[in-house]
Chain A
């Protein structure tokens, strides 16, 4: 029998015609081969996937203790020769559980591998491929499964508190608004600091501006809100230089790999995921009521020597007045409905999903909605050729609260009512400072942004020979943003006849990537995985804005701009960039004990000076899988132990295109009493302009003990970024005030810990996921300067609050220090730091804290009992400071606007022992540490209770799975911060002016109920 098999086996190795022509020779050859094989036993078999019975290609079959090794071919077949039986085969394939098999008889065998339950934890997505987690040498964190299902607007929000080393700040509570993410601290001062997102292989920089035509006032909408979080399969955050260097000039700020769900082999399923909930403002700011405000007004007037506004009887009749917060805030519904269909055969896998998401804002007439669709298709044309396509399309709409909304809600004086006696909106509150009625604005003005986004990436993959694969992909990211704004003539802030603006931004980004990948195991112990590739990416953005005012009627709103009699100069621009790259990576593993990764990417970017178009970004990493050493294998308590070391250079190219070129800008000037247009230099050329370069070193440890019941990942890193791109002052004789140059150095160093423990097993299961990150940021050099002040991104004027200074962290607050309230006068006192008897800007301001947190901690506890699951997710930030500009305005005590309730304790002749100054008609905020507040918080970010119906029960009604849950987000926040929410940054993603609360849209707490049903 064995002989027969061998004859057939050999026959197959020869082409049929060869057998016909040389049959005799083959016969002889076979016979001689038979004698050679006589002492060998051939174990033949097939490797199949257990659930679908489909072949597994490339499974590695090793013979324990021997050198023999085989790989399953395109049919899943393998053959391995041994001298004696029994032997132990170890069969492994990425994504499947290893299977150990003791073979006692050499009969043809079929080996079934089952998918690894912890597939996500055993396989990680890395740049341009996947790798076994145990083979990975760099530093990477993946979002744990229990936090993947949180109800959020966009996938990037899932990262908050879920992984170490990433600081995620929601800049505003506006539905759909963006988040700002810093992976291992901010490396840059003026250039972008957001990580690179790679969505199904397509690199995207998630700048706030990429879906913003520039018309809508208020928080920017998150470009990633076009993606339905339900579609996400995994999110992996690459942190160290070794893992991000494959993205070269875009790797310095970390890389976030988002992989969407794909179709699966097997039966078709239809899944509905939906939830409906209600959001409510987490907290209201305590303000003076009408009577209290009247008293303040009177005090301020008296202090200025003026006649009080109200008599005592008038004061008594004011009552509580209007609660403007109650008028503006509401309980707002949020809902999401996703239907996804997956199906798959041996050759084709498909996933199709559609989502409708609608979130009303807690501020009236604001909200965000999204319609999105997704198609992931993967097809094997034959055993060698595979094609696939990822397609995501979405249409989003947001009604945005204009920037002034929250400041105006708080500044409206309580004696003013929302509507007048005729039922019309009151125009404004005017008691010294005029504040437009925010309820009228919210109700009657249009301030919206609409985005259509289409992300498509298709690939073809061809297996040239066993182990060698060529892949070509072509993708495009098409964004179309249209923004509309109309301020009707009825509103206070409108020009006569109303104002209309429309703006449009369209961008087309295309990408081509060509890679060759070779994977092979030599002998038993040497494994290599080599990747080389070439990519090109190009982006073109065009935008325009058209505005007009003074319309005959408000009826047309923004739809008939030509009918406005006051035309505002239109504007337009276009901008283009391109990137060409060559990349290479070699992974070498010896005996699964020593692992080496070498990576390099050469990027040529259009954004840089002609002398520095190309940059090379190399990295190296070494890892030691100590637990695979014989001397540690005997220690049963240690299930895995890996030490990692990496170093490398990555870059940052996130500056506006054309910054290296001498540019002309148009300016208007008066010539013969006529306004004419002319052009003048607006920037100097800098042929040497180059990347910001970040050298990063990482030392990491992965430890698993007691069968991985306790898993610890610890990393220490040091990042030094040099060649920072800065506007350097130049003499005015040059015709400009500054030039853009590569100067300056910033360092970030830190420690990260991730601890996952399985505390209880059995009927009652309890797991804990603990994440800790600490980062220290410091400016080491600013070229010739020692410091500079920060420019407000909105007004382009210098911010009086922050400074960039050598030796300090980016985001340092620089201002006066208060020294209590003068008992005699009731005035706020400031410290005279240089003791010259005067309080001066130059001499008496100092650094009073930083927006950088000392550390971030989050902890998730998941409990399971029978079919119930409960997850409690706590998130915290410690040590960061916030400048509460909202309170600074409300605490002026002028009586011009609404005021905070703490002014009740203001200094008066009878209340001198207080830290609150007197009522005073001084409408200018003195920037001082009085308004720098501790932004530390501990938040119950999410609590979810779910029940999964037993399969036996639901199969009776033809369901495959069903789960119901209730979930609460942001239910409790413990903080000393007095504003709406400590997680705030009015200036969005801007690093140097972060940590500012200037009337940010308040965060809501949410309670919702959801259901997931699979048919």
Chain B
């Protein structure tokens, strides 16, 4: 036990770089950790929150640490059955969309320009089902592509696979370790490279335009959603918030917290994110929760925290 405590303390030292004093003198920081592609949004939330709450002390862990020492862990996929501890809860605070993207020299762009890919074709392109019982025949896409994806445990991989009814291990191709942003580095080097990514990484959040060297894979879209392929970040966000688009996976992001050692500083921050914080989602390429979901999450938060001592 003593050793464990020592490492926890040591770890907290590394991640916070704050001065460690007695518990009563300075507030222990609220530590947030998790899926990295959400960090730009989380950082924005923290910065804006600290503007209105100068005494708040919220830190974002530099590296994903398995969620053992953080107060809040960011999750960006549907948790598997036993993924959460019995005492853990999720409060959802936003959404993100995944778009298929490729090197802007990829011949697939011309081949699919007339009629974009539908959900089934995307499925064939991205996934390969390994089934030893020969349940269903192996279907291969007619397009040649090198698929890049994050490791199987990464949130976006899990979300993408889940949307198409697969396991993340069934995504074809090469893996990229580090961060979802590197998927774009990989396809920029490979003329037939193909990947998916969230809007915050696909678009330059300042200019609101698609980043250079990459192109969105043409999708089979209905009239009202056509602007996903051509519009700027804000247009895309608006279309996706207004419509359910079959070819575009949209997944929620949320904070996992343990209701055993939840602190008031934590609930205050989450509550702010659910209210005032929402207006910064678009800024970083994330979708808002719809009104009903937002109300549900707010209720959930107050219910859970009201029961706390």
Contact = CB atoms under 8 A, between A and B. Distances in A.
Interface of A: 1, 4, 50-51, 86, 88, 99-105, 107, 109-112, 114-115, 117, 761-763, 765, 864-867, 869, 948, 950-951, 960-961, 963, 1014
Contact of A99 (B62, B138, B175): B175
B20 interface: no
Contacts of B142: 762
B135 A950 contact: yes
Contact of A961 (B63, B133, B175): B133
A101 B139 contact: no
B143 interface: no
Contact of A104 (B134, B136, B178): B178
Nearest to B62: A1
Contacts of B169: 50-51, 112, 114
A88 B137 CA distance: 32
B272 interface: no
Interface string B177-216: 1110010011000000000000000000000000000000
Interface residues of B, number: 32
Nearest to B131: A117
Nearest to A951: B135
A1 B62 CA distance: 10
Contact of A107 (B128, B152, B153, B178): B178
A4 B62 CA distance: 15
Contacts of B152: 50, 112
Contact of B177 (A1, A104, A864, A961): A104
Contacts of B135: 867, 948, 950-951, 961
Given A50-B169, A101-B174, 13 more contacts: A51-B169, A86-B178, A86-B185, A102-B182, A103-B177, A104-B182, A105-B178, A110-B151, A112-B169, A117-B132, A761-B140, A869-B134, A948-B133
Contacts of A867: 135-136
Given A50-B169, A103-B177, A864-B137, A112 B151 contact: yes
B45 interface: no
Nearest to B167: A50
A114 B176 contact: no
B185 A104 contact: yes
Contact of B186 (A102, A763, A865): A102
A807 B174 CA distance: 60
B148 interface: yes
Main secondary structure of the interface of B (DSSP, over half): loop
5 contacts: A1-B14, A107-B63, A117-B138, A761-B140, A864-B137
Nearest to A946: B134
A99 B172 CA distance: 10
Which of A4, A115, A762, A865 has the most chain B CB within a 10 Å cutoff? A762
A711 to B, nearest CB: 16
Interface in B58-105: 62-64
Contacts of A117: 128, 130, 132, 138
A948 B134 contact: yes
Given A102-B186, A112-B169, A761 B174 contact: no
Contacts of A864: 137
B177 A105 contact: yes
B11 to A, nearest CB: 9
Nearest to B10: A4
Interface in B4-47: 10, 14
Contacts of A51: 169
Interface of B: 10, 14, 62-64, 128, 130, 132-140, 142, 148, 151-153, 169, 173-179, 182, 185-186
Nearest to B182: A104
B177 A101 contact: yes
Contacts of B137: 763, 765, 864-866
A951 B128 CA distance: 17
Contacts of B10: 4
Nearest to A949: B135
A86 B63 CA distance: 18
Given A86-B182, A112-B152, A114-B169, A100 B175 contact: yes
A762 B64 CA distance: 40
B135 to A, nearest CB: 6
A995 B169 CA distance: 54
Contacts of A99: 174-175
Contacts of B130: 114-115, 117
Contacts of A50: 152, 169
B139 A762 contact: yes
Nearest to B36: A105
A961 B138 CA distance: 17
Contacts of B14: 1, 4
A425 B223 CA distance: 88
B176 A102 contact: yes
B141 to A, nearest CB: 9
B160 to A, nearest CB: 16
A102 B175 contact: yes
A100 B174 contact: yes
Nearest to A762: B139
A1003 B3 CA distance: 76
A761 B132 CA distance: 18
B62 A102 contact: no
A103 B151 CA distance: 11
Contacts of B62: 1
A395 to B, nearest CB: 31
Contacts of A865: 137
A762 B143 CA distance: 12
B139 A111 contact: no
A921 B177 CA distance: 91
A117 B14 CA distance: 44
B133 A1014 contact: yes
Given A762-B139, A763-B139, A948-B135, A110 B153 contact: yes
B133 A102 contact: no
Contacts of B132: 115, 117
Contacts of A948: 133-136
Contacts of B140: 761-762
B156 to A, nearest CB: 15
Given A102-B175, A103-B177, A104-B178, A109 B133 contact: no
B222 to A, nearest CB: 24
B133 to A, nearest CB: 4
A102 B63 contact: no
Nearest to A117: B130
B179 A104 contact: yes
A81 to B, nearest CB: 16
Contacts of A105: 177-179, 182
Contacts of A111: 151, 175
Nearest to A865: B137
A973 B250 CA distance: 59
A86 B153 CA distance: 20
A765 B139 CA distance: 8
Pairs A-B, 3 closest by C-beta atoms:
A104-B178, A105-B178, A104-B182
B101 to A, nearest CB: 16
Nearest to A948: B135
Contacts of A86: 178, 182, 185
A104 B151 contact: no
Most chain A CB atoms below 10 A, which of B135, B136, B152, B186: B135
B106 to A, nearest CB: 15
Contacts of A110: 151, 153
Specify which of B10, B137, B142 lies most central, judged by the most chain A CB atoms within 10 Å of its CB.
B137
Contacts of B134: 869, 948
A50 B128 CA distance: 14
Contacts of A115: 130, 132
Nearest to B124: A762
Contacts of B178: 86, 103-105, 107
Nearest to A103: B177
A135 to B, nearest CB: 23
Nearest to A119: B132
A604 B130 CA distance: 47
Contact of A109 (B136, B139, B177, B179): B177
